[in-house]
Structure 1
Amino acid sequence: MKDDTSKEHAATQGACPFRGTRIGGAIGSEPQLDHWWPNRLKVELLHQDPPHANPLGHDFDYAAEFAKLDLDAVKADIKAFLTTSVEWWPSDYGNYGPQMIRMAWHSAGTYRIADGRGGAGQGMQRFAPTSSWWDNGNIDKSRRLVAPIKAKYGATLSWADLMVLTGNCALEIMDFPTTGFAGGREDAWEADKATYWGPEGWHGKRPTETPAGGGIGQPEQMVTRTLRWEGQPGEDHYDLENPLAASNQSLIYVDPEGPNGNGVPMDSARDIRETFARMGMNDMETVALIAGGHAFGKSHGMTPPTQIGAAPEAAPLQAMGFGWHNPRGTGNGADTMTNGIEGSWTPNPTMWDNDYLTNLFKFEWQQTKSPAGALQWTPVDPDAPKTPDAHIPGQMNPLMMMTTDIALKVDPAYRAVCEHFLADFYAFTTAFSEAWFKLIHRDMGPKDRYLGKEVPARDFIWQDPIPANDGYALSDADVARLKDMIHATGLSVQDMVGTAWASASTYRKSDKRGGANGARIQLEPQRSWAVNNPANLSRVLDVLAGVKADFGRVSMADLIVLAGCAGVEKAARDAGVAVDVPFVGGRMDTTQEWTDIEMTNWLQPVVDGFRNYTNPDVGYHVAAEHLFLDRAHLLELTAPEWTALTGGLKVIAGTYDGSAHGVFTDRPGVLTNDFFTVLTSMEYEVKPQDSREQTFDLVTRNGGETRYTATRCDLVFGANAQLRQVAEVYAAADGHARLVRDFVKAWHKVMMLDRFDIPEARRAAVKVC
């Protein structure tokens, strides 16, 4: 009997063998690792923005290219453009200035002091997620408007610098005196995958008033603030999750309508104070920025948010990178929609004056709604000044204030600053100028990175100033003599290496702060950080101060690093490997006067797995190994560098408190590969010490003896698949010499991370081979 399937088989002869199978996918369209294992350790974050992603080439020197710019010519081109208008996106009041101030502000305003991430430094506003946050609505148009200027100057002017410079030029054409401008922001070439922007996920839409309502382009569930906040406005316990700074998902700072759009000014004031503080601004700077920024331009809310199309990342291909399509009328000009609030704060929105504060305090304000349905405020007095319409000649409109503006009037501390500025317009102008300069430069790091003719001579304390080198240098003979003097003190390898590491490892690549230069480890607050074991640190510093006194001219910053290098050399030599650890001198010492204790405290690590330190008082709800990865990322380490430094430091420098966790060796102070041979050995079983699974015992399989103890930050190098492959290389029979070599290279890299005073030497040290 013939099988019934034969007909089906015959009918399909010659047909596509994949008929009925979905084959339309491509690389990246299938579910990724994060989909299947969302809590995995993303080691690949250490290898972001690789050289081959840069179309300008790995050896591109932006500082050299920027030096070729005629900055005056660039600014003239920008200023000429600002007072024009194009049909596809007409300027308000015939002046793109206010729009470009917003672009620059929102590029820089993502900065946060907790981990130094965000800011204008790499032009990340060009990429998701920030490119598609609802708070950045229509900034895609601003970048496209200045694209011809970017094309004209090409590689000599980065997008990151252009966006900030355009904001500065915008202020200047409206008669505002800026403090200055520094170039030097080198563009990234792919999206930032490492920054944690909050637990809510990314929606690219505006929060709405009801959970069933529609957001900008995506009528889904509203984005709330409940996941990142503990408590509610007005409660005793009301706190924002670390390290976040913005009050809501997809915001730069705070909701202009008040927390969750509640329209309550005092609640808004609390949010403002929290978020601006987390971005490194005090009350005076906060008021200056808000009042100064709102002296210009207008807000847009003529179209209901439910009618607005998807953000750029979700827009259709034919949109060519534009998002937030507005189908109403012309879709721009008088019909524009951004944050939903409509109107201007002042009668003259393209000129620097004090009308914003004058109007805020002279009139009483009542709550109303914009055409888009957003909460805003209008003067109670019908005779209050009007503001000209941005696009309809002769039409005059009521003034507008946001809930965040009224907050400055009702909060006692903010009100006092406002009244000071009302009484002294010069003080207001100076405060806004300096706060704006800080806003757009604070993530650039030391002034050694500043480029261009408009860099102000003045030093600001938020720049972590270090005295300029006046010719001080150490010869090879000096270095050799100092090493002998250091060894003669009797300091242990642990003392020398641990102190140098504590000094240098404060560096973070996000905002280029920290590092060994300046020797801030001998000052407060670093000298008293628990992670630095203050009592032992003081003893070591006192000994090194004696060496300095006996030698003559040598900075403590150099002496601390040189002692670490001497310690590494001894540790390697005692393990049977002779090695010369590179040392580049020329560091200078700063003073307590030029150290902002509050801002410097943000450099203190939450988790430092190199020394097995965890700060239990910081509210991070993340496994320690993930925060350790974050620390490695801030130190610009690759996975092999991270692995080599961890294993080497554990055996030669131990832990911050002298505990045995992770010290997998019988020869502490000697640069062996014992950490890796123990970690990868099948001789041991790993058993948690308690149900919290933070510390563990390594127990021999034969006999059940606890031989070593460990933390999560130790075990991750044996548990994570990618890190284990590296650990096994160092544990192999030929792994010891390789470990010493790689440890020394990584050590030198960390010691040089902050050496922007000699960029060639820094580049050579940090270059990934």
Structure 2
Amino acid sequence: MDGNDTSAGKCPVMHGGSTSSKTSVTKFWPNALNLDILHQHDSKTNPLAGFDYRSAVKGLDVDALKADLRALMNDSQDWWPADWGSYVGMFARVAWHAAGSYRNTDGRGGSGTGNQRFAPLNSWPDNVNTDKGRRLLWPIKKKYGNKISWADLIVLSGTIAYEVAGLKTFGFAFGREDIWHPEKDIYWGDEMEWLAPSDTRYDDVADATSLSNPLAAVQMGLIYVNPEGVNGKPDPARTALMMRETFARMGMDDEETVALTAGGHTIGKAHGNGSAANLSADPEAADIDAQGMGWMNTKGRGIGRDTVVSGIEGAWTTNPTRWDNEFFTLLFKYDWALARSPAGAQQWEPVNIAEEDKPVDVEDASIRYNPIMTDADMALKVDPIYRAISERFMNDFDAFSDAFARAWFKLTHRDMGPKSRYIGPDAPQEELLWQDPVPAGNASYDVAAVKAKIAASGLSVADMVATAWDSARTFRGSDFRGGANGARIRLAPQKDWAANEPARLAAVLAVLEPIAAATGASIADVIVLAGNVGIEQAAKAAGHEVTVPFAPGRGDASQEQTDVAGQAVLEPQADGFRNFEKQAFTVTPEEMLLDRAQLLGLTAAEMTVLVGGLRVLGTNHGGSDKGVFTERKGALSNDFFVNLTDMAYKWEPTGRNSYNITDRKTGAVKWTASRVDLVFGSNSVLRAYSEVYAQDDNAGKFVADFVAAWTKVMNADRYDLKA
């Protein structure tokens, strides 16, 4: 080969964005609708396809696993030695940082999938050296194999760490299933650099509540707030405001925020005894010989007392391997002044501290150092609300321990969904409001009799189908919240949501609730069953006899079992399935559709068939005719796709989200449409699906696929059917 041949050594394969080329074919069309978010859990990536983890974990020897974890806590490894001979701080942090990425705005993040193993989370600046914790856990994961997921093991390791330190924990539940590839399509922010200033994600950085939705962390690469202060400028009062908002977006109130902050810093230490400039690349960017680990110190020992993580250096308490009340004792006993760590990070250190109150060196007990506080720690002393809670905890250690144990359980189980999904001997029996409890339902009534009453009720197909859809569409596969079970659509706050058309909803419920009362069925069941009846009627009107699958047994939640504030995050701001937008957003309606479809667990094909079917059934919000491409509204036909792909028409914009569909010959307006409607003809992938359903030989397939996708949504929260 000629040495001047510039093609030498070039790989013939087009690489994706996460490989060394850093490019993707999509770079040429950056504004094209990217459907990848609907393929996040493609079974093709799963090396255990067909394996049922939730069944396998029930055969786990829990006592043996916990014994091995307890032994690990004090079994220091030479390659990564434990501070003071104990890993309790290490594993508390690994679990905290796995769970702490959760945000209640869309339920994404959190510890429920083992996503800390993959980019970007495995390489976030805030997660420095969590890779070492997972490597320390590997021998245990290897031993117990498929009976313990990484997601469960990571959280359990943190819980056991607190038990070894002396805390009586609230409990632990197994049941988290691992994913097998990066969730690269989760929106973590627009920034193109780690730790970019907070200003980039706030409308006004002085107003903590202006943090852009659905984000919860204040900067790219952090799980909550900057430990050095807002944009790295120490000011505990301002940091307190950021904490209140970001912890609220993690589903935590003020007491839980104080408990988690203090409890998280009661054990372990921060590491910054050296320059961060000496660290190697993060795991995702490290050279191949690093074998998936990053942040290795390129100068000096880089372990033990010379470890660098956050840049802040020091322990918060005198005895950092023991669960005690020293965090609050030291915080209020001393005045604190700003100082610099050896790495140059800003931290707070006590003034004139007694020698016996200083923690000892992690390797040499004859050496003592000042304890430290972050700006977030100081916020607990400066903010009047946080201070009152902190003083109460300082004077009542049992109250603090109980509050932390409960908050830790919530932090690490918030994205597991209802208590019915908990597995294992240590799952607590107490019913907690944040678990969205639903009483057991009745499954022994005459379903056929209920269907007959619904069919004779006079309700329209559109009203029956729309109400069932609205009840079920709140489901989020991200944290297993929402859904039709519980019939919370009839309770505050859901009954008053604009997306649910309160007046229409009240009228429909007034018809369905007496049917439930008369037959022994739950209202939740009757709502879903009414949707099924509507679909069966619509299919018959289109010439297809179908029976929509139905499984009775949903329960009805009470208003007292409903956390009104907690439910507020489930409110649909947009629902492309019903052509609804509460307001104009910076992202397009079709992008909002993808977000909802992904949370519902739908594939791109399922999303397509549902939109086409719901349009011809006339279920648009407010009765809008946008996208109703049919002359026989109320019949479950494939007309939406037939007419969308018919070249007899052309498409003309008339507003931000409004289009006319006109006859090419006469110029007459035939239909109107939204962007969501037209994307099924414009996007190449969605058009391919649309063409399948528009074919003359696929009218029956369209109905069958619609029924299957509909049933999937209606049963998304029926964990009793999946046990």
TM-score in terms of structure 1 length? 0.91
Q: What SS does the aligned partner of 2:205 have?
A: coil
Matching residue of 1:141: 132
Matching residue of 1:74: 65
Q: What SS does the aligned partner of 1:602 have?
A: helix
Check 1:740–1:537 CA distance in 2 against 1; reply closer, same or farther (3 A cut): same
8 Å Cα contact 2:38-2:602 kept in structure 1: yes
Q: What SS does the aligned partner of 2:305 have?
A: helix
- Cα deviation for residue 366 of structure 1 reads 0.3
Pairwise mapping of residues 534-545 of structure 1 onto structure 2 (< 5 A)? Answer: 534-545=502-513
Q: For the residues of structure 2 that align with 1:713 and 1:280, how far apart are their CA atoms?
A: 32
Gap runs ≥5 in structure 1: 1-14, 208-222, 761-769
Residue deviations 1:672-713 (CA, integer Å, cap 9, x gap): 1111112111122211113xx311111221222122111111
The question of 1:118 aligning with 2:83 is answered no
Q: For the residues of structure 2 that align with 1:628 and 1:728, how far apart are their CA atoms?
A: 20
- List structure 1 segments (4+ residues) > 4 angstroms apart after TM superposition: 15-18
Q: For the residues of structure 1 that align with 2:721 and 2:636, how far apart are their CA atoms?
A: 30
Q: For the residues of structure 2 that align with 1:374 and 1:262, how far apart are their CA atoms?
A: 11
8 Å Cα contact 1:254-1:271 kept in structure 2: yes
Residue deviations 1:390-415 (CA, integer Å, cap 9, x gap): 12231011111111111111111111
Q: What SS does the aligned partner of 2:141 have?
A: helix
Q: For the residues of structure 2 that align with 1:92 and 1:427, how far apart are their CA atoms?
A: 28
Matching residue of 2:479: 511
Q: For the residues of structure 2 that align with 1:687 and 1:414, how far apart are their CA atoms?
A: 56
Q: What SS does the aligned partner of 1:302 have?
A: coil
8 Å Cα contact 1:366-1:378 kept in structure 2: yes
- Cα deviation for residue 337 of structure 1 reads 0.4
Q: Which of 474, 493, 500 is matched with 1:525 structurally? A: 493
Paired residues, number: 716
Matching residue of 2:653: 688
Matching residue of 1:224: 197
Residue deviations 1:124-157 (CA, integer Å, cap 9, x gap): 0000000000100000000000100000000000
Q: For the residues of structure 2 that align with 1:366 and 1:491, how far apart are their CA atoms?
A: 69
Letter matched to residue 376 of structure 2: T
Matching residue of 1:764: none
Q: For the residues of structure 1 that align with 2:231 and 2:546, how far apart are their CA atoms?
A: 60
Matching residue of 2:376: 404
Q: For the residues of structure 2 that align with 1:645 and 1:256, how far apart are their CA atoms?
A: 46
- Cα deviation for residue 289 of structure 1 reads 0.3
8 Å Cα contact 2:463-2:619 kept in structure 1: no
The question of 1:473 aligning with 2:443 is answered yes
Q: For the residues of structure 2 that align with 1:391 and 1:332, how far apart are their CA atoms?
A: 10
- Cα deviation for residue 446 of structure 1 reads 1.2
Residue deviations 1:137-196 (CA, integer Å, cap 9, x gap): 000000000100000000000000000000010000111010000000011011112210
Letter matched to residue 81 of structure 1: L
Matching residue of 1:11: none
The question of 1:666 aligning with 2:652 is answered no
The question of 1:32 aligning with 2:24 is answered yes
8 Å Cα contact 2:129-2:295 kept in structure 1: yes
Matching residue of 1:257: 228
The question of 1:89 aligning with 2:80 is answered yes
- Cα deviation for residue 582 of structure 1 reads 0.4
Letter matched to residue 545 of structure 1: E
Letter matched to residue 631 of structure 1: R
- Cα deviation for residue 23 of structure 1 reads 4.3
The question of 1:738 aligning with 2:705 is answered no
The question of 1:558 aligning with 2:558 is answered no
8 Å Cα contact 2:440-2:554 kept in structure 1: no
8 Å Cα contact 1:303-1:328 kept in structure 2: no
- Cα deviation for residue 572 of structure 1 reads 0.2
Letter matched to residue 473 of structure 1: A
Matching residue of 2:305: 334
Pairwise mapping of residues 390-539 of structure 1 onto structure 2 (< 5 A)? Answer: 390-469=362-441, 472-474=442-444, 478-539=446-507
Q: For the residues of structure 2 that align with 1:446 and 1:232, how far apart are their CA atoms?
A: 35
8 Å Cα contact 1:121-1:160 kept in structure 2: yes
8 Å Cα contact 1:230-1:238 kept in structure 2: no
Q: For the residues of structure 1 that align with 2:6 and 2:229, how far apart are their CA atoms?
A: 53
Q: Which of 612, 622, 642 is matched with 1:657 structurally? A: 622
Letter matched to residue 351 of structure 2: V
- Cα deviation for residue 621 of structure 1 reads 2.2
- Cα deviation for residue 90 of structure 1 reads 0.2
Matching residue of 2:319: 348
Q: Which of 638, 642, 645 is matched with 1:677 structurally? A: 642
Letter matched to residue 271 of structure 2: H
Letter matched to residue 34 of structure 2: K
Letter matched to residue 38 of structure 2: L
8 Å Cα contact 2:618-2:628 kept in structure 1: no
The question of 1:631 aligning with 2:602 is answered no
The question of 1:276 aligning with 2:247 is answered yes
Q: For the residues of structure 2 that align with 1:613 and 1:114, how far apart are their CA atoms?
A: 19
Matching residue of 1:579: 546
Pairwise mapping of residues 10-29 of structure 1 onto structure 2 (< 5 A)? Answer: 15=1, 19-25=5-11, 26-28=13-15
- Cα deviation for residue 735 of structure 1 reads 2.5
Please say which of residues 697-706 and 247-256 is displaced more in the overlay: 697-706
The question of 1:717 aligning with 2:689 is answered no
Matching residue of 1:8: none
Residue deviations 1:542-567 (CA, integer Å, cap 9, x gap): 1011212332x110111111111111
Residue deviations 1:609-665 (CA, integer Å, cap 9, x gap): 011111217xx5211111111111111111111000001001114211111111112
Q: Which of 42, 66, 90 is matched with 1:99 structurally? A: 90
Q: For the residues of structure 2 that align with 1:378 and 1:451, how far apart are their CA atoms?
A: 44
Residue deviations 1:587-624 (CA, integer Å, cap 9, x gap): 1111111111111111112220011111217xx52111
Please say which of residues 272-281 and 322-331 is displaced more in the overlay: 322-331
8 Å Cα contact 1:689-1:696 kept in structure 2: yes
Matching residue of 1:217: none
Letter matched to residue 463 of structure 2: D
Q: What SS does the aligned partner of 1:417 have?
A: helix
8 Å Cα contact 1:497-1:653 kept in structure 2: no
Matching residue of 2:276: 305
Q: For the residues of structure 1 that align with 2:41 and 2:468, how far apart are their CA atoms?
A: 29
- Cα deviation for residue 33 of structure 1 reads 2.8
8 Å Cα contact 2:208-2:242 kept in structure 1: no
Q: For the residues of structure 2 that align with 1:17 and 1:307, how far apart are their CA atoms?
A: 38
Q: What SS does the aligned partner of 1:398 have?
A: coil
Check 1:164–1:238 CA distance in 2 against 1; reply closer, same or farther (3 A cut): closer
Gap runs ≥5 in structure 2: none
- Cα deviation for residue 294 of structure 1 reads 0.9
What percentage of residue pairs aligned between the two structures are identical?
A: 50
- Cα deviation for residue 388 of structure 1 reads 0.9
8 Å Cα contact 2:202-2:208 kept in structure 1: no
Matching residue of 2:582: 615
Matching residue of 1:595: 562
Matching residue of 1:43: 35
Matching residue of 1:54: 46
Q: For the residues of structure 1 that align with 2:32 and 2:654, how far apart are their CA atoms?
A: 23
Q: For the residues of structure 1 that align with 2:265 and 2:625, how far apart are their CA atoms?
A: 57
Matching residue of 2:171: 180
Q: For the residues of structure 1 that align with 2:587 and 2:137, how far apart are their CA atoms?
A: 41
Q: For the residues of structure 2 that align with 1:686 and 1:227, how far apart are their CA atoms?
A: 37
Q: For the residues of structure 1 that align with 2:669 and 2:521, how far apart are their CA atoms?
A: 47
8 Å Cα contact 1:246-1:275 kept in structure 2: yes
Q: For the residues of structure 1 that align with 2:124 and 2:255, how far apart are their CA atoms?
A: 28
Matching residue of 2:662: 699
8 Å Cα contact 2:209-2:245 kept in structure 1: no
